[in-house]
Structure 1
Amino acid sequence: MLKPASGYIPGIDGLRAIAVLAVLVYHADYLSLLPGGFTGVDMFFVISGFVISQSLSERNSTGFADYLFGFYRRRLLRLLPALLVVVAVSFVLSAMLLPQVWLSEQNNRTGLAAFLGLSNFVLAFNTDTYFSPSVELNPYLHTWSLGVEEQFYLLFPGIWYLWLRHRQRIPALWALLPVLALASLATSAVQSAHDPLAAFYLLPSRFWELAAGALLYQLLRRRPLQARTGGTLTVLMLAGLGLLLAGFLRADAARFPMPWALATVTGTLLMITALVLPGTGSPPLLHVLLHTRVAGYLGRLSYSLYLWHWPVAVFIRWTVGFELLAVQLAYPLLVLGLAAASYHCIETPIRTGRSVLQRRSWVTATAAVAVLAVAMPGARWISENPDQLSLSRTADTYTWMAYRHAPPSSAQPINAPQLQGRQLFALGDSHTAAYRTMLRQVQVQLGVEVIEYEHGGCGVVRLIGADPPDCADRRETALRAIEAAAKPGDMVLLASLRMPELAGRDWSGDSAATWAAVFAELDRGHHDAAMNSAHAVLRRLQAAGLQVVIDAPKPLFKASANRCSDWFNRINPVCAPGLEVSRAQLLALRADQLQQLQQLQDHYPQLTVWDPFPLLCPGATCSAFDADGLPLYFDADHLSGHGNRVLAADFIQMLLRVWGVPLGADGRETQ
């Protein structure tokens, strides 16, 4: 009986080249050729399942311990060195080039987990999907697939060893892998509909893809391989390529892995079969192309290409941007150069070396643990002290960050009996967190307890539309907690984004049309829904006897100050709209919201509207920076630490008035 080809199969590298190029094209912002190119990762899964099965089958003559430890030794030497280099470099470059935004904590957790092959878990329990805009800024995002493979490697060798050694004596072992694959397929189908993050990132819904490659090896091992004519191999190749193209061109991100991964997995299986089957006559053209030196070399580089392509794209996106032709041309060359250096200087020498480190499993494992023991704490230190390496103005965290530093020593305590035992509850979206410096100053100067309930994207009394329905449970939990803990006369600050965002829009064309689109978002239907949400919240707070403060809409901008303030990012096209906006335009944009606030004030006597707009925009043009060049804003609509300090005195005086603390001529409490 002819067995599957043993040893190196050159055409497999050709398939790897297709897979990695599909992923690279998909992730290149300036190309829209392969909207489903992310399915190249699924090709890698199938190929890995087949190749690992082949490798393990060729080493089944040893005992289980040697079989298992030898496998993990080869995996560590193959995967870990290049991964460590890429992740470590990404931590350093992140600290140097990227402002520490609200995404940084998520990014850092992903990177630290990547050292251990667990980044897919971090991403699975994040609120952003693989396809959301925010993950484009995470340089470790792509390591999720490596995590899936590494977790597969923890389970598969034992399963495969049982099949290799005992399939003749226990025929039921032939069914073990198919049953597990079918269970995974069913899990994938259910999770794709009801838990898409788990379906995309976690092994239970991806196991079947890796197992498919192993099942193909089993099938070819069980049945005699007959030589096929060139025509038969051509049909297999074309059918496989057609299914791959269907995935590359049509795969729906909203329904993935199921059902669209089926096309990619099946197509890859067909092409592997055509490569493995012995043929008669001239080989098909696709077979020849997959065996070319270029395809083979790109396939051998595929791991390093995959590792480097994504962080390079992230750092380009954050600095100069992808819009310039020179950058678009340089990007693939830079990735190719880094991948080649990684392959020739890191991957190959470490994988093929003959030292004790490479030949002894326990030495390899010990060295891996030692390196991780150094790399992970180092990466953690960098993530916690980015200002030590940063080249950005945002390294001045006292000025830029709204949550890092204590109030200035000039913030003198104000003592008054009306403040004794008072509590201030802050509820809203990320703009509540952006007041944190100011709220800490309130806590220090007034001696009141400040309790925050904030969550990004979960605005409360937004005025521009209904409060987000997917935040209803979180909002209800916060309101109940406030009702349970608050005493009559305590205060609730409702802080949220209350104007349509200007950043992220196309301002390069007809500016008037873009402004019209912004104003169109404030239609009457949204107005009614917004007022209904506002009444639902304010009625409860008034019934509890609480004072309520709502911040009126603040200025906001078309670009982010933290992305457009350094020499290495000012040419980024996202910065072209600038960091200034006409005051009159913003006043017109918030006019309806001010009317709504007035209506609410008329209805709820314990409601106070605090308007920070005049302090943030005193002139005819609103700027993200004040007259001294200090940032009032951290990004396009969240305040900086300096912006907080600009507002703090005014906010504190408002609180004193509401709580009935008499003020002297100097604005301080009188005894």
Structure 2
Amino acid sequence: MSVKIKDNKSYIKNRYRSEIDGLRAFAVITVIINHFNKEILPGGYLGVDIFFVISGFVITSSLYQRPSKNFRDFISGFYERRIKRLVPALSVFVFITSIFICLFNPVPRSSLLTGLTSLFGLSNLYLLKQSTDYFAQSIELNIFTHTWSLGVEEQFYILFPFLIWFSGFGRQTKNGARNLFLTVGALTITSLIGFLYLYQINQSTAYFSMPTRFWEMALGCLLFIELQKRKSTGEFLEKVPPLLVLALIVGIMFLPMSWATESTVAVVGLSAVLIASMTKGTVAYTFFTNPKVVYVGLISYSLYLWHWGILSISRWTIGIHWWSVPFQIALIFGTAIASYRYVETPLRKGNWYGKRWKTIIFGGGMIVTVASVLITLGKPLKGKLFIGNQYNKWNMKNYRETKITHNSTLPTIYLIGDSHTGHYGAVMTHLANKKEFNFIMHPQGDGLKLLNTGMEEHVLAPLREYKNNFKKEDIIIFSAHIDKYRNGRDWTKQYQTFVNQTQNIGMKFFLISPTPTFTKLKGGYTCQEEWFRPSWAISPLCFGELKKSEWFASNKISIGKIKQFLLKNKKISYVDIFSILCPEQYCKNHNNNTIRYRDENHLTSEEAMKLSDTIETFIRSK
């Protein structure tokens, strides 16, 4: 038996709870504070978990007793509303910020791929494939990292309407609510166990995957059903002081990262209690229903989208300083208000094309159009929008092959490795232009084929590609970041294969030592001076130093592997660039106020060129 509701707008209005929007405002503000400065509110990222609980509660509420003719009508209506809610604001955000990041980042590939996958609700899976550490500073330079949570929600929305309908809840059958509660409850327990287990052994999977986040949105669903079916539960939770619950949530957000698992579970549970306990007459209800607070909640989706983009671009340009924060806050709220007023609201409430299938097709077309723009920025326009000095064009080229061939009888230098090959591309070109060598720089991860394949692909891919061209007197030069030696999938075995096959031909093998890593810069800072990043805007950390003994101690595993490999292969020539860059007790990432490293471990092109004579002399001596 179904319940007929004549006025669908009245039905939606009756379901609306303004205090929920107030809670959204609280959640998004904690996230923004954390993203400005993690030290102020270490657990502010838990605001995303509050959003997940709210999403599960609100979605279930919106589908409760909603009239639907059949499954087709139900599912098409659901996805029409989701498309109107999510796609327009996201598409505009991705379109605009993709162009901006290409202006300031000479190698925006990672950001563009994250943005591209976010359009299809897959950025969380892309970031997971990259083994991304959400809490590393380096993620702050990826302009679309925060879209992972949208990916989790969108994947949840694929599964959830089927649970709603086939449990009978969407059809308003007698046992529909009970069936949904039992089904979602079982999945919730499974998901929570998976989250707790994986967080200890594979944090990226626990953090980014939908199955290990399902329990958070599902708890909101269970809360709604419980409040509808058991008045006693609501009466009990209403007795809990909401201000106390709110205070506990805030207190948890000040806990250190070592408590991340416990903090997540606690905040999710307390968020459900807070939703249930906020009743008229309480101080919390009065605060969260304040029109200004509610308005911040209403624009929370646009705020969430734009705040990260603006902060990320700020880090690529002038940085984030005490004097810049007011302007950045104003820009965040200004863009969010504009997005809410001119994009989100009119397109969500408007009747796009009358029929639902046309709306769904139009939404898909919008996604494909923006995706095409990102592909264009990443391929035909690669590097052409960058408005800074071409300070490291070799780093810009390290994703495609570079060949300088003068004469097939000349020896060929093959430069392989990771992004650190960008240090020496200009040096090798300098040598090749003397017409004494040919030069080939192997592409690193062109397209998607080499993504997350580890150290072995840096070694085996060029072996497969060039082995028929190798000849006596050719030179292989390998360069990689120190972490690659620690985390590579048995790189010594793969590298040994390469060495054996090439040395049998009579080729020479050079291994360039890793550069020092300034851990305080750890990816969150860009030190290269540009017109849009003047010296006074560069972080003071870019002018620091590193004690050599501490670097060796922290990298003893990787250094040990390198030493073992060199002992086993005594014919390999080791180019000790590290000692040249750090001749004294301390490694300095500056010299007389001149920046030497553009980030934590990549040299500026000017500094790399200073190594030209050393490397040239070394090659000739061998």
Question: 1:427·1:493 contact (CA, 8 Å) conserved in 2?
Answer: no
Whether 2:357 is the aligned partner of 1:362: answer yes
Q: 2:314 aligns with which of 316, 335, 359?
A: 316
| Worse-matched range after superposition: 258-267 or 177-186 | 258-267
| Worse-matched range after superposition: 445-454 or 216-225 | 445-454
Whether 2:88 is the aligned partner of 1:88: answer no
- CA positional deviation for 1:540: 1.9
Question: 1:139·1:310 contact (CA, 8 Å) conserved in 2?
Answer: yes
Matches within 5 A, 1:546-585: 546-553=571-578
Whether 2:501 is the aligned partner of 1:476: answer no
Aligned residue-pair number: 563
Whether 2:332 is the aligned partner of 1:335: answer yes
Question: Within 1, Cα distance between the matches of 2:188 and 2:573?
Answer: 56
Question: Within 2, Cα distance between the matches of 1:624 and 1:226?
Answer: 62
Matches within 5 A, 1:409-448: 412-413=406-407, 415=409, 419=411, 430-436=419-425, 438=427, 446=437
Whether 2:230 is the aligned partner of 1:223: answer yes
Specify the alignment match of 1:136 in structure 2: 140
- CA positional deviation for 1:167: 5.6
Whether 2:16 is the aligned partner of 1:8: answer yes
Specify the alignment match of 1:581 in structure 2: none
Question: Within 2, Cα distance between the matches of 1:286 and 1:294?
Answer: 14
Whether 2:550 is the aligned partner of 1:521: answer yes
- CA positional deviation for 1:108: 1.7
Whether 2:383 is the aligned partner of 1:394: answer no
- Aligned-partner residue type, residue 146 of structure 1: L
Question: 1:123·1:144 contact (CA, 8 Å) conserved in 2?
Answer: yes
Whether 2:273 is the aligned partner of 1:270: answer yes
Question: Within 2, Cα distance between the matches of 1:376 and 1:532?
Answer: 45
Specify the alignment match of 1:380 in structure 2: 375
Deviations 1:237-281 (A, max 9, x none): 13431342243222x54564x332111111111111123x6x6xx
The 1:389–1:431 alpha-carbon spacing in structure 2 relative to 1, beyond 3 Å, is closer
- CA positional deviation for 1:431: 2.6
Question: 1:502·1:518 contact (CA, 8 Å) conserved in 2?
Answer: no
Question: Within 2, Cα distance between the matches of 1:105 and 1:198?
Answer: 23
Question: Within 2, Cα distance between the matches of 1:116 and 1:450?
Answer: 34
- CA positional deviation for 1:107: 1.7
Whether 2:348 is the aligned partner of 1:351: answer yes
The 1:302–1:64 alpha-carbon spacing in structure 2 relative to 1, beyond 3 Å, is same
- Aligned-partner residue type, residue 383 of structure 1: G
Question: 1:88·1:375 contact (CA, 8 Å) conserved in 2?
Answer: yes
- Aligned-partner residue type, residue 140 of structure 1: F
- Aligned-partner residue type, residue 177 of structure 1: V
Specify the alignment match of 1:596 in structure 2: none
Give the secondary-structure state (helix, strand or coil) at the position aligned to 1:204: coil
Deviations 1:318-339 (A, max 9, x none): 11111141x1111211111111
| Worse-matched range after superposition: 41-50 or 368-377 | 368-377
Specify the alignment match of 1:162 in structure 2: 166
Query: Unmatched 5+ residue regions in structure 1?
Result: 557-585, 592-616, 626-632, 659-671
Whether 2:295 is the aligned partner of 1:297: answer yes
Question: Within 1, Cα distance between the matches of 2:542 and 2:175?
Answer: 76
Question: Within 2, Cα distance between the matches of 1:526 and 1:98?
Answer: 30
Question: 1:17·1:296 contact (CA, 8 Å) conserved in 2?
Answer: yes
- CA positional deviation for 1:222: 1.6
Matches within 5 A, 1:147-226: 147-163=151-167, 164=169, 165=171, 168=174, 172-224=179-231
The 1:118–1:485 alpha-carbon spacing in structure 2 relative to 1, beyond 3 Å, is same
- CA positional deviation for 1:412: 3.9
Question: Within 2, Cα distance between the matches of 1:201 and 1:511?
Answer: 31
Question: 2:22·2:297 contact (CA, 8 Å) conserved in 1?
Answer: yes
The 1:247–1:479 alpha-carbon spacing in structure 2 relative to 1, beyond 3 Å, is farther
- Aligned-partner residue type, residue 588 of structure 1: E
Question: 1:424·1:493 contact (CA, 8 Å) conserved in 2?
Answer: no
- CA positional deviation for 1:382: 1.4
- CA positional deviation for 1:641: 6.5
TM-score of the pair, normalised by structure 1: 0.73
- Aligned-partner residue type, residue 150 of structure 2: L
The 1:519–1:307 alpha-carbon spacing in structure 2 relative to 1, beyond 3 Å, is same
The 1:301–1:471 alpha-carbon spacing in structure 2 relative to 1, beyond 3 Å, is same
- CA positional deviation for 1:590: 8.1
Question: 2:53·2:219 contact (CA, 8 Å) conserved in 1?
Answer: yes
The 1:465–1:15 alpha-carbon spacing in structure 2 relative to 1, beyond 3 Å, is closer
- CA positional deviation for 1:437: 5.1
Identity %: 27
Matches within 5 A, 1:613-652: 638=602, 651=615
| Worse-matched range after superposition: 107-116 or 635-644 | 635-644
Whether 2:57 is the aligned partner of 1:47: answer no
Question: Within 1, Cα distance between the matches of 2:593 and 2:396?
Answer: 18
Deviations 1:457-503 (A, max 9, x none): x9999999999543462343323343355416322221232445497
- CA positional deviation for 1:79: 0.8
Question: 1:39·1:247 contact (CA, 8 Å) conserved in 2?
Answer: no
Which structure has the greater CA radius of gyration? 1
Whether 2:69 is the aligned partner of 1:62: answer yes
Specify the alignment match of 2:569 in structure 1: 541
- CA positional deviation for 1:84: 0.5
- CA positional deviation for 1:291: 0.9
Specify the alignment match of 1:19 in structure 2: 27
Specify the alignment match of 2:465 in structure 1: none
Question: 1:117·1:151 contact (CA, 8 Å) conserved in 2?
Answer: yes
Question: 1:493·1:548 contact (CA, 8 Å) conserved in 2?
Answer: yes
Note the aligned Cα RMSD (angstroms): 4.2
Question: 1:429·1:495 contact (CA, 8 Å) conserved in 2?
Answer: no
- CA positional deviation for 1:213: 0.4
The 1:424–1:167 alpha-carbon spacing in structure 2 relative to 1, beyond 3 Å, is farther
The 1:499–1:241 alpha-carbon spacing in structure 2 relative to 1, beyond 3 Å, is closer
Question: 2:423·2:602 contact (CA, 8 Å) conserved in 1?
Answer: yes
| Worse-matched range after superposition: 239-248 or 74-83 | 239-248
Question: Within 2, Cα distance between the matches of 1:494 and 1:644?
Answer: 16
Question: Within 2, Cα distance between the matches of 1:176 and 1:383?
Answer: 44
Question: Within 1, Cα distance between the matches of 2:555 and 2:65?
Answer: 69
TM-score of the pair, normalised by structure 2: 0.79
The 1:499–1:16 alpha-carbon spacing in structure 2 relative to 1, beyond 3 Å, is closer
- Aligned-partner residue type, residue 141 of structure 2: L
- Aligned-partner residue type, residue 431 of structure 1: H
Question: 1:17·1:302 contact (CA, 8 Å) conserved in 2?
Answer: yes
Whether 2:291 is the aligned partner of 1:286: answer no
The 1:431–1:555 alpha-carbon spacing in structure 2 relative to 1, beyond 3 Å, is farther
Question: 1:401·1:641 contact (CA, 8 Å) conserved in 2?
Answer: no
- CA positional deviation for 1:191: 0.9
Specify the alignment match of 1:371 in structure 2: 366
Deviations 1:143-202 (A, max 9, x none): 000000000000001101223137635765541110111111111111111111010011
Give the secondary-structure state (helix, strand or coil) at the position aligned to 2:496: helix
- CA positional deviation for 1:65: 0.8
